Amino acid sequence: MTVNDQPANNVNGSTELNEDEIRRIKTKTGKPVIGYICCFAPPEIISAAGAIPYRITGKPGKDTSSADAYSEPYGCTYVRNILARAVEGKYDFLDGLVISHSCDMVQRLYGIWTYYHPLPYSYLFNVPHQLTPWAQRFYKRELGFFRESLEKFTGQDVPDQKLSNEIISYNKNRDIIRRLLKQRKEKPPRLEGSEIFELLLAGGTLPVDSFNRLLSEKEVQFASRRPVNGNKPRIMIWGSIIDDPALFKIIEEAGGAVVADDTCIGFRVWEKDIPVTADPYDGLTEHYFVNFQCPRTDRGPGIKRFDYLLERAREYDVDGIVGYCISFCDPHKFDYPDLRDYLKKEGLPMLLIDDNYSFEPEEAIKTRLQAFLEMF
């Protein structure tokens, strides 16, 4: 069932607006909504099983005290934020929850959430930390288990052809996104990084066809924009989960242009098509596991991940990298010292913003970013 009667421009990176939209679509279609965190459990499978995938996002800076009773003090502020919103009923439209074991904290979030508030459907998606052939087989098998559990919940079979069609639909969106990303190569870019990022955020929270209409509308709007003059330092963002455009906007207000990113809601998910393979699970494994550059997966010595970042920094002619780390985000914190040295050798300066998923105190963050931009 498609939802074609609603203009797509009422959705953007705003969490509230997208939540309203998903409630509306749910009522209209009668489909269950399944929330997910991290990309390892592919939304394509959820959609093929007749449910609506919804990427759960937090709200940086919100009071998280309602999560205190459930979470240990060492829990990261991102997970606390999501948990607080769950306690407050902000995700009450969810019929299901799937969390992949991307890091220990999100796995704990799954445990706490489903223990205190069992949902009609919940699934913990296991993801190996290595990329060995056996690990890849493990991941692929996990995709199969996930499909089976969804089939049981929605009562709809997911034959391979149906899944392949779903992948093709999602890839159509990737096609438009690639065209938009390309525009960021302009100097200076006509599109703000935050505008594109808001779109990508919307992509996680909308059904594939609604997202397609939104992208098509935006592409037409963007095409009529006039070129702008002046030079701005070209910045790339790397780091922990960024599910709010705040950091993009702070950089833009300080006079920079965010032209690329290496983050899990940005480039990593959207810039490349999911390979359409005879066995669709092979393509999904390649896209979401083998090539997905999250530091929670060990890539061994040589660190291919950094090459990935550098390749994009060069492609988009980046002047400097802004790193964003949420306190206690070990996978990213472990990478940072090596990444910084690696980039230094390549002549790319890097600034790290340590944050509690709040972008506060704003003035201190602004000063660091402004000083960094003054270097160029």
Q: State the residues that interact with other proteins by CB under 8 A.
A: 349, 354, 361, 363-364, 367-368, 370-372, 374-375
Alpha-carbon distance of 197 to 237, in angstroms, equals 11
Cis peptide before 32, with omega less than 30 degrees from 0?
no
In the numeric block, which tokens belong to residue 56?
């759960």
Task: Output the smallest distance, CB 375 to other proteins, in A.
Answer: 5
Alpha-carbon distance of 183 to 118, in angstroms, equals 44
For residue 210, give the nearest of 66, 15, 29 by alpha carbon.
29
Task: Output the smallest distance, CB 305 to other proteins, in A.
Answer: 22
Q: Which is nearer to other proteins, 276 or 375 (CB)?
A: 375
Task: Output the smallest distance, CB 361 to other proteins, in A.
Answer: 6
Burial class (CB in 10 A: 0-12, 13-18, 19+), 105: buried
Q: Which is nearer to other proteins, 111 or 337 (CB)?
A: 337
Task: Output the smallest distance, CB 248 to other proteins, in A.
Answer: 20
Task: Output the smallest distance, CB 366 to other proteins, in A.
Answer: 9
Alpha-carbon distance of 46 to 163, in angstroms, equals 9
Q: Which is nearer to other proteins, 38 or 373 (CB)?
A: 373
For residue 164, give the nearest of 61, 45, 256, 60 by alpha carbon.
45
Task: Output the smallest distance, CB 235 to other proteins, in A.
Answer: 16
Task: Output the smallest distance, CB 374 to other proteins, in A.
Answer: 5
Q: Which is nearer to other proteins, 290 or 375 (CB)?
A: 375
> Locate tokens 């505008």: which residue?
195
Alpha-carbon distance of 286 to 275, in angstroms, equals 8
Strand 96-100 relative to strand 121-125: parallel, antiparallel, unpaired? parallel
Query: Which CA distances in Å does 235 have to 48, 248, 272?
Result: 37, 10, 21
Q: Which is nearer to other proteins, 123 or 372 (CB)?
A: 372
Q: Which is nearer to other proteins, 228 or 375 (CB)?
A: 375
Q: Which is nearer to other proteins, 128 or 349 (CB)?
A: 349
**DSSP code, position 272:** S
